[in-house]
Amino acid sequence: MATTALPAKRVTRRSMAAAAAADSVESSTVASPSDSPRPSASSTSLSSLASEEAEPKGNYTGLLDTYGNEFTPPDFTIKELREAIPKHCFKRSALTGYSYIIRDIICLATTFTLAYNFNTPEYVPSAVARGLIWAVYTFAQGLFGTGLWVIAHECGHGAFSESKTINDVTGWFLHSALLVPYFSWQMSHSKHHKATGHMERDMVFLPRTREQQATRIGRLVHELSEIGEETPIYTLVHLVFQQLIGWPNYLITNVTGHNFHERQREGRGKGKKNGYFGGVNHFDPASPLYDAKDAKLVIMSDIGVALAATALYFLVQKFGFQNMAIWYFIPYLWVNHWLVAITFLQHTDPSLPHYTAEEWTYVRGAAATIDREMGFIGRQLLHGIVETHVLHHYVSTIPFYHADEASEAIKKVMGKHYRSDTKGGFFGFLNAMWKSARWCQWVEPSADAKGEGKGVLFFRNTNGLGTKPMKVTPSA
């Protein structure tokens, strides 16, 4: 594990004046209809994003991440990060972006044309060989499709073009073709960026607390440090289901997102909870994930998905489900797999902290992410989304083709607070999925944390891996 974050500097606290100035910084980094500051858990405020910070008063001794490394929260500022990035890295070009879209579409079309015309009994007599070729085809198409997904994601952040219209039209078409509700996801994803690592407001892979983990497995809180190891087969089954249905499940039920919808400022979250039929999803204009003014955007997203689904229906009628399964639906599952895997590993690692509401700041939350490495696949086919995610959380409007240079620039400011795991390239990335699933089961404070340090939470597990869970007495 190549972890490059063992913080040693003192933490700083934000000033009220800096917090007031911070909203304009974040609104430039996340281009979304929901960028305005809001106080609720579902809509999230930006008051914690600071470009200046005051001297620390908290006690952050005794903090240990899951690896056993000592930890203190970051102490740099957004202003320092932005000033370190070369000015040309902020420039966005729609023409450059469209050149990558054309490249990805050519890859999709060429792969389909070759397989359709030449993977036939006439050219490949062996049925087994044809099956293997089609399997390779679905894998490759899944990667090319994920590349288009990533560019649509760039559109949602305003990183594709200087024009908001070009961003949204392009992103809507690309995401709709992949059955993604563009504006709906754009808005919830913006809230994730504004509250990354926040235990009450984050929208993506929010970990369970010790209490939630105990409830999930039918145990008392104090028993978690005593129960036996989770079987590897259970971990495997969990990962398989996560990778197969994790993305549609998130869109439909908000699984892995926060569940504090009662705090939605317009009262739209009253009585609503994550889960099936809980009233929290990305398709309902009345969902507490959105405000009333966002309804038209949710409807536009639904129309895009409905048009794509209708086109797929007629294609199935014309070519049959078996053909469409190979040509589209299995590659679609591969796209979902890569999306979930990438997001999971960007925010789940034994080195990453999470914060309670009292201890969270924008700087701290954005630093609670990690860069991975997927070699040629990640850097070329997936447009570097795996390798430059830490930067992406600080300045989301930087286009992917400038992200490597900008990442190198902010590393000098972040120092040991920057995290990466680049060991093993593509296969190391796959191994990290297993490792994170085994090491990262729930979060809790460090056993020796004092004062404010109790609001900094780290992953723990019952598998005997890394720092042991706290010993909690039954009366606690």
| Residue 334: its H or E element | helix 330-347
- Residue 19, burial from CB neighbour count under 10 angstroms (0-12, 13-18, 19+): buried
259 confidence band (pLDDT: 50, 70, 90): very high
Q: What is the mean pLDDT of residues 297-310?
A: 98
pLDDT score recorded for residue 298: 98
Tens-place pLDDT, residues 342-396: 999 999 999 999 999 999 999 999 999 999 999 999 999 999 999 999 999 999 9
Buried b (16+ CB within 10 A) or exposed e, 110-138: ebbeebeeebeeeeeeeeeebeebeeebb
Alpha carbon distance 244, 340 (integer Å): 9
pLDDT of residue 21: 35
pLDDT attached to residue 213: 86
Q: Report the pLDDT value the prediction gives residue 23, as an integer from 0 to 100.
A: 33
User: Which helix (H) or strand (E) covers residue 443, if one does?
Assistant: strand 442-445
The pLDDT value given to residue 8 = 37
Whether the per-residue pLDDT at 35 is higher than 50: the answer is no
The two structure tokens encoding residue 435: 């490792």
For the chain, what are the domain ranges?
75-223+231-460
Mean per-residue pLDDT for 411-418? 96
Q: Give exposure, 407-444, as e/b (b: 16+ Cβ within 10 Å).
A: bebbbebbbebbbbbbebeeebbeebbebbbbbbbbbb
Tell whether the model's pLDDT for residue 198 goes beyond 80.
Answer: yes
The distance of Cα 452 from the centroid of its chain, to the nearest Å, equals 27
CA distance 149 to 136: 20
pLDDT of residue 59: 84
Residue with tokens 């504090």: 260
Q: How far apart are CA 29 and CA 198, in angstroms?
A: 18
Instruction: Kindly indicate the confidence band of residue 106, based on its pLDDT and cuts at 50, 70 and 90.
Output: very high
Residue 222: which pLDDT band, with cuts at 50, 70 and 90? low
Share of the chain above pLDDT 90, in %: 81
Provide the 8-state DSSP code for 273: B
Q: Average of pLDDT values for 306-321? A: 98
Instruction: Provide the 8-state DSSP code for 11.
Output: P
Token match 């997927």: residue? 374
Return the structure tokens found at 198.
């926040």
For residue 109, what pLDDT band results from cuts at 50, 70 and 90? very high
What pLDDT is attached to residue 471?
85
End-to-end CA distance of the chain: 35
Q: What are phi and psi of 413, to 5 degrees?
A: -85, -40
Question: Which residue in the block uniquely carries the two structure tokens 């509250």?
Answer: 195
- The model's pLDDT over 338-350, given as tens digits with 9 standing for 90+, comes to 999 999 999 999 9
Please count the other Cβ atoms lying within 10 Å of the Cβ belonging to residue 267: 10
**Residues 6 or more apart whose Cβ sits within 8 Å of residue 372:** 342, 345, 346, 378, 386, 387, 389, 420, 421, 422, 428, 429, 432
